[in-house]
């Protein structure tokens, strides 16, 4: 979400659903599992039952509790962006927000909502929640967010903008997060500070109910729950774009996010303390055995690319991208498509199945990450596979979530490290 540019493949809906499971004791962390749209665990399955808890007439305010039985929640994904479920308030309301490692703020559309984008599910109603507490504008948390101001009622008003011109405006508040557990009991894992958005616009669709910021700032979900699990770290394992819709991947927090064992490669996190996005250093990409350097003439800059779960495609400098595409053409026996105006200037091939190669290797500082064709070529339509990378004139370069699929990626904000491990995310 840090920089969602127009990419021809982004309109193909990915509809993946995540189920979050607390895997052990409360202080051990928890995992978010992605499941297919057609699974009975999907929120789109038997959708008339999705919001049944909202119709109850009386709720007790929950107390904080532990999660020995493995609490879980669900998230969804569409248009190449993964959505994670947070259950807010008392009574609890399910909110599905875009998972975004490129930003910090956690926010949801709230009533009253004037000038907001269309949302399929009911919006969060703060006045109906017994645990909703708006923050005053003189609070420390309010001052930690850039773009805050005092409302006429002395509340912490905010305006938070994204690189794709999306904007959310509203009030910062403190709320309760509730998860379900294996024995169907509710488990409250803590309070979070979130943005109750009363005016929101941008590149959203009707399934998006907000954004879950997983960046490094003090108000991100990672930072806020870090104190509960002893460290600020999380990991993700995303299923490929065109995988079986009933397959699943995971997002984990705390101890459950450990990335270890054979095949792990680690690179320094260049981002400054308390800042987003997650910047790493990409030295180049090999096409087969041929190394294509990131820069051909300049000194390589540290932190030259961000790992962004909120952007599908990988965006590279024009000159680097052009050299990469030329080497791909040399090493592929198929002829590129040059007579389909729908594909624009993308490198595409006609094939009934994904192309067999070549394999790419992303060379991060100290970490070589192999990318198979399922991670680098995606089908915009039947019988066509296109290179899932593009050039950009912006100087913000992105390692997108297509390339991140089938890799267990761990982010350790305290040790300032990013770890990669090749993984079948459908079975992780």
* Residues carrying an active site annotation: 100, 308
CA distance 411 to 425: 17
CA distance 278 to 413: 9
Q: Are 190 and 64 in contact (CB under 8 A)?
A: yes
165: region left, alpha or beta (phi > 0 left; psi from -120 to 50 alpha): left
125's tokens:
């109603």
CA 153 vs. chain centroid, Å, equals: 34
User: Which value, to the nearest 10 degrees, does the dihedral of the CA atoms of residues 254, 259, 261, 264 take?
Assistant: -160
**Quick one: three-class SS letters along the chain?**
CCCCCCCCCCCCCCCEEEEEECCCCHHHCEEEEEEECCCCCCCCCCHHHCCHHHHCCCCCCCCECCCCCCCEEEEEEECCEEEEEEEECCCCEEEEEEEECCCCCEEEEECCCCCCCCCCCCCECHHHCCCCEECECCCHHHHCCCCEEECCCCEEEEEEECCCCCEEEEEEEEEEEEEECCCCCEEEEEEEEEEEEEEEECCCCCCCCEEEECCCCCCCHHHHHHHHHCCCEEEEECCCCCCCCCCCCEEEEHHHHCCCCCCCEEEECCCCCCCCCCEECEEEEEECCEEEECCCCCCCCCCCEEECCCCCCEEEEHHHHHHHHHHHHHHCCCCCCCCCHHHCCCCEEECCCCCCCCCEEEEECCEEEEECHHHHEEEEECCEEEECEEEECCCCCEECHHHHCCEEEEEECCCCEEEEEECCHHHC
263: region left, alpha or beta (phi > 0 left; psi from -120 to 50 alpha): left
């Amino acid at each position: 979400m840090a920089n969602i540019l127009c990419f021809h493949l982004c309109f193909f809906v990915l509809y993946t659903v995540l189920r979050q499971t607390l895997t052990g004791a409360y202080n051990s962390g928890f995992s978010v599992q992605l499941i297919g749209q057609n699974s009975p665990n999907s929120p789109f399955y038997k959708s008339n039952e999705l919001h049944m808890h909202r119709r109850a007439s009386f709720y007790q305010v929950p107390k904080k509790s532990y999660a020995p039985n493995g609490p879980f929640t669900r998230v969804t994904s569409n248009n190449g962006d993964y959505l994670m479920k947070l259950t807010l308030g008392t009574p609890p309301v399910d909110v599905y927000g875009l998972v975004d490692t490129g930003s910090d703020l956690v926010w949801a559309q709230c009533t009253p909502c004037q000038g907001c984008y269309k949302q399929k599910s009911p919006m969060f109603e703060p006045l109906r929640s017994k645990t909703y507490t708006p923050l005053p504008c003189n609070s420390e948390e309010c001052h930690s967010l850039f773009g805050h101001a005092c409302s006429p009622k002395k509340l912490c008003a905010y305006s938070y903008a994204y690189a794709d011109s999306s904007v959310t405006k509203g009030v910062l508040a403190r709320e309760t997060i509730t998860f379900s557990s294996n024995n169907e009991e509710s488990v409250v894992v803590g309070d979070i500070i979130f943005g109750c958005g009363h005016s929101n616009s941008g590149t959203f669709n009707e399934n998006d109910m907000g954004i879950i910021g997983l960046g490094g700032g003090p108000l991100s979900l990672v930072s806020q729950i870090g104190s509960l699990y002893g460290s600020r770290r999380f990991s993700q394992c995303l299923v490929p774009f065109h995988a079986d819709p009933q397959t699943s991947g995971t997002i984990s927090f705390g101890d459950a996010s450990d990335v270890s064992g054979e095949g792990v490669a680690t690179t320094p996190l260049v981002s400054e303390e308390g800042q987003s996005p997650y910047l790493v250093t990409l030295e180049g990409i090999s096409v087969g055995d041929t190394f294509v350097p990131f820069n051909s003439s300049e000194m390589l800059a540290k932190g030259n690319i961000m790992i962004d779960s909120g952007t599908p495609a990988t965006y590279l400098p024009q000159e680097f991208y052009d050299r990469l595409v030329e080497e791909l053409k040399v090493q592929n026996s198929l002829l590129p498509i040059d007579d389909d105006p729908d594909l624009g200037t993308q490198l595409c091939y006609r094939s009934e199945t994904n192309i067999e190669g070549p394999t790419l290797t992303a060379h991060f500082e100290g970490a070589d990450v192999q990318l198979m064709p399922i991670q680098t070529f995606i089908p915009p339509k039947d019988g066509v596979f296109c290179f899932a990378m593009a050039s950009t004139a912006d100087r913000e370069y992105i390692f997108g979530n297509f390339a991140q699929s089938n890799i267990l990626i761990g982010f350790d904000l305290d040790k300032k490290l990013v770890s990669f491990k090749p993984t079948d995310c459908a079975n992780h």
